Structure 1
Amino acid sequence: MDYLFVIIVCLAFLSTTISYEETFENSTNLCDRCKCITSSREFVLDCQNKGFRHMIANWPEHNATLIATFSNNNISHLEILPDSDYVRDVILSRCGIETLGNGAFKAVKNLKYLDLSYNLLTTEEIAPEKFKGPYNDTVYEPLLIEHLDLSYNRIHSLPHNIFEHLTTSLTELNLAGNKLKILDHQTQVALSGLTNLKGLNLANNDLTELVGDAVKNLQKLRTLNLAMNKLDFVPETLTLLSDSLQVLYLDNNLIYELTDESFLGVKGIRMLSLTNLARLQYVNANAFSPLENLKILFLSDNPSLTTIDRDAFRENQVLEELYLHNNSLKDLHYNLTNWPTLRVFSLNDNDLICDCDLYNISQHLRPQIKQNGDGPYCINPMTDASMMIYRLTEEACDYEAEYNNSSHVINKHFRVLKLAFLTISAVFIFTGLIAVTIAFLRYRRYKMNRNYPFTTQVTYNPLRSSIISN
């Protein structure tokens, strides 16, 4: 009987062991399978591309801050991470994760950075119980995650209470590359509760607007990324973030114009990115005037941008970095901005005509900027030769005068030719109309004659008729 009992216990233990190994990766001698890098301050566990199908059962022995990466594995279901007070960063990108175990991160109490990007998570699989903290008497304690990366999953909406265990700690949220075509009511409620959020990435979601209720409570938000969406104007709701917003990305949108109202009420922005706007043609007067604190402007790679109004900035704005490369600019006014304050300036790959403005701009740029030996270039309007802008001389002002005079003569001749062409065209059209009218009338008369039954007209004479009768 005792022998039978021992067998049953052994089988039960073996069954438990097999089940355990099926749920978790064997962690014995883990540093032989993965790369372990130790220092006095950090322990790095690198388990990328190891063919893992489950989370590890235990962490290697460590007594320093632990950073763990499991990218590019095959973990379709993520179970609860092993217990540790030292784990700070966990990277689980590109693991094919479809589902999360309830409380998957509750045992890593001091986790600050969690990367779940490029997985297969859906709205249904990011319920609040997935992010609950350790249980304490009657409640779940909040997680301390500060940076949560859910980018490039399959999320079309956020559950309204998804962040209930992260409300106070979360400062950076990345939702780029999902399916958030609209910020529905649930998503608005979820975002509005993140009152300590400093960075929000909504890029590449096909958004057509930024709903005010989604951001109105984010009064600590400093960075907002709206790139690669379908915005055809700068969202008016940005005024709700006026006191905090410092960095704004609007690249790769459908924005077609920038006016004096585009950035009205968002004076706190220090860095603005407006690149790859395929429809943008003009930057109108005072477009950037409301941005009192603007220091860095990316306005490059806009293939249709030909004109920046000379009054696009306010008079006392002090830019430090200005990127205007790879547009279709024809000219650039010297009065556009305060050129000596620029530390970085990029103007390559435009269609600029050499003139006095470009010469004066080059004279007032810092020497460090003009050390670039590969452009930018402009075209001499008199010779069609390409000239480096930073090497222009005062002769550029003469080019402009001669070009304007030549243009005046050409335009005068063109107006004369145009008038002559219009006059001749009018005569031809009038003559043609008359010819067509005459031809139509003759044709109509011809048709009438053919349809009449007699070749000559018969006239009725009553007198002759009576003589014949007698």
Structure 2
Amino acid sequence: MWSALFSIASLVLLHPVLAFCPPNCECDDETLVVSCTQANLDVIPITLNPSIQRLVLKFNRIKTVDSAIQFYSSLQYVDLSHNQLVNIPIKGFEPQEKLVELQLNHNKLSSVNNKTFIGLKSLKVLNLRGNFLEDLPDSLFAPLSHLEELDLGQNRISRIDRACFEGLTALRILYLDDNQLRSVPTPSFTYLGMLAELRVGLNVFSALGDGAFNGLGRLSTLDLRGAGLTNISDNAFRGLQGLRSLVLTDNRLQSIPTKQLSKLNRLEDLEIGQNGFSMLEPGCFKGLSYLRTLEITGASNLTRVRKGAFSDNLNLESLTLNKNPRLKTIEEGALVGLPNLHHLNLKENAFTSFSESMLAWPELRSIDIADNPIECGCNILWLREMLVRRNTTVVSCNSPAPLKFKSLVGLTAEELGCSFNDAKKQAIIGALCGTAVAIIAIICLLLYKYRHRLQGALKDYKWNKRASRKEHEYQKTFSDDEFIMRTQQQTMKPIPVTEL
């Protein structure tokens, strides 16, 4: 059988024009791409153009990587996903020195060893997701010195040897999620100094110990969703000075791990929904001054957001608080003082109303407050007008009964129970009345403050007026001639007489 296969392959190599494209396959000799998706293949075709560079054989019934693959030495991309591979022969890919990406996900591989990948010196992406791997031995990936992305998710891995990742000096992305790890494989991180993204959620951790990620000083993204965490030690994130994105969704945390998170002073994106905390306390995200996006979704116990919860997060641009079935209170001022907040998602919570002073609504670029049990009344007329202007999220009334299920933007001011049709007129009248009251109050205050001076001034005025009138009357009692004579007598002096 093997001699026949080699004879056919030799003939195709000598005469490429004789290359045969199997039924249900697409072969393009110009782009050098062969795609045999769902082609009912049991083996790798041996009669393809030997110069092909991309080979897609997904969704077939191939059980092994046989020697046929050796005749396609120009391959750069191979997709054998969703087949029935149970094993890969030693050095099965040795001739594929140009191969850059290898997809082996969703097969039945239960084991691989350090000789499985010999020859793949150009490989950058290896996908082993969705297999039956249980153990990762030492030096398993040693031949893959140029590997940048490794996906080991959705396996049954419970043990990773210390030197498993030895030789992966270029690895940037590692998936270990959805396995059976009972602790973070900290010792094996020694060889992953260039790692930028680690996804290790959906395992059976209960806690993160101090220095759980030692050796990953360049880590930028850490995904711990569904890891079963109930406790995070104070120094669990020690050494992750460059971490930008952290996912703690779907764990068992009973409070926001404020102290632990404060060590991540460069963090920009945080997801921490589906945990057990009931309140966002003041300063709960203390130290995260670079935080740009915060998402809290599906927190079934969350009821209240306290004022000051985001006091340290002045760079916050996007806030998502949705699908929290008991969240109905955001304290006044909790969202004030966030100058960069442009995207707000409060969808599917328990809010019955929203305050106009809750935040600077007009400055938001996107708003989603749909699917809340809104009580439609005159107090949210401002919200209706804003939604009409922005033509954005759909808000329906939950009460009162006559307005139930009706769209807020379709209601009139009268239907909302407002006594004035024009909210602008109400605002102007209110402003004028307020101004008048303020002026009167100031005048009364000044009169009271300077009442003694005013009383003195009034007395002086009355006295001066009375005095001037009496002097005028006194002067009128004399005739003009008498007045002149009296004046002259007063001014003339007697002349002394001298005896001779």
What is the TM-score with the length of structure 1 in the denominator?
Answer: 0.69
* Cα separation, 1, equivalents of 2:307 and 2:137: 55
Query: Could you say which residue in structure 2 is the equivalent of 1:304?
Result: 326
Offset from partner CA, 1:98-129 (integer Å, 9 cap, x none): 1234311111111011000111111xx21222
Q: 1:361 to 1:287 in 2, by over 3 A?
A: farther
With over 3 angstroms needed to count, the CA separation of the structure-2 counterparts of 1:393 and 1:61, relative to structure 1, is: farther
Between the aligned residues of both structures, percent identity stands at 25
* Aligned with 1:45 (options 78, 96, 104): 78
Residue pair 1:232, 1:255 contacting (<8 A) in 2 also = yes
Which one of the candidate residues 120, 128, 132 is aligned to 2:162? 128
Listed one character per residue, the Cα deviations across residues 47-69 of structure 1 (whole Å, up to 9, x for unaligned) are 11222122353438667662211
The 2-side partners of 1:341 and 1:159 are apart by 46
Picking from 357, 378, 388, the partner of 1:335 is 357
CA distance in 1 between counterparts of 2:381 and 2:365 reads 18
Distance 2:379 2:290 in 1: 30
Q: Is the 8 A contact 2:220 2:244 kept in 1?
A: yes
The offset of 1:227, in angstroms, is 0.8
The 5 Å alignment of 1:31-430 reads 43-55=76-88, 57-59=91-93, 66-80=100-114, 81-122=117-158, 125-133=159-167, 143-166=169-192, 168-184=193-209, 188-356=210-378, 358-364=380-386, 370-371=391-392, 375-379=394-398, 381=400, 383-395=402-414, 398-399=417-418
Segments of 5+ residues of structure 1 without an aligned counterpart are 1-23, 134-141, 402-470
In 2: Cα distance, 1:261 partner to 1:392 partner: 40
- In structure 2, what is the Cα distance between the partners aligned to 1:162 and 1:190? 11
Q: Is the 8 A contact 2:318 2:342 kept in 1?
A: yes
1: distance between equivalents of 2:257 and 2:196? 23
| Inter-CA distance 144–354: structure 2 relative to 1 (3 Å threshold) | same
CA shift digits 1:211-268 (9 cap, x unpaired) = 2222021110011111111111110224433531111111110010112122222222
Cα gap change, 1:312 to 1:163, in 2 (>3 Å): same
Listed one character per residue, the Cα deviations across residues 167-186 of structure 1 (whole Å, up to 9, x for unaligned) are x21111111011110123xx
RMSD (Å), alpha carbons: 2.8
Aligned partner letter, 2:409: Y
In structure 1, what is the Cα distance between the partners aligned to 2:320 and 2:224?
19
Using the alignment, how far apart are the partners of 1:281 and 1:190 within structure 2? 32
Retained in 2: the 8 A contact 1:340–1:366?
no
Shift in alpha-carbon separation, 1:73–1:242, aligned structure 2, 3 A: closer
Distance 1:306 1:384 in 2: 21
Stretches of structure 2 that go unaligned for 5 or more consecutive residues are 1-62, 421-500
- Equivalent pairs counted in the alignment come to 354
Q: Give the counterpart letter for 1:247 in structure 2.
A: D
Distance 1:160 1:299, change over 3 A: closer
| Segment drifting more, 308-317 vs 51-60 | 51-60
Q: Is the 8 A contact 2:217 2:240 kept in 1?
A: yes
Q: Structure 1 75/360 Cα, relative in aligned 2: closer, same or farther at 3 Å?
A: same
The answer to whether 1:29 aligns with 2:68 is yes
What is the alpha-carbon distance in structure 2 between the residues aligned to residue 31 and residue 270 of structure 1?
50
SS at match of 1:297: strand
Partner letter of residue 152 of structure 2?
Answer: L
Please state whether the residue corresponding to 1:212 is helix, strand or coil: coil
Counterpart CA distance in 1 for 2:392 and 2:185 is 54
Deviation at 1:151? 0.6
Q: Relative contact order (C-alpha < 8 Å, sep 6+): which is higher?
A: 1
Give the superposition deviation at 1:304.
1.0
Structure 1 residue 73: Cα displacement = 1.4
Whole-angstrom CA distance in 2 between matches of 1:95 and 1:162: 21
Contact residue 211 and residue 239 of structure 2 kept, 8 A: no
Q: CA deviation at 1:283?
A: 1.5
For 1:119 and 1:130, how far apart are their aligned partners in 2?
16
Structure 1 residues 302 and 159: alpha-carbon distance in aligned structure 2, compared to 1, 3 A threshold: closer
8 Å contact from structure 2 (residues 129, 155) kept in 1: yes
> What is the TM-score with the length of structure 2 in the denominator?
0.65
Kept in 2, the 8 Å contact 1:319–1:338? The answer is no
CA shift, 1:160, in A, is 4.1
* Cα separation, 2, equivalents of 1:60 and 1:365: 63
SS of the equivalent of 1:387 reads coil
Closer, same or farther: CA 107–316 of 1 in aligned 2, 3 Å: closer
Cα gap change, 1:55 to 1:363, in 2 (>3 Å) = farther
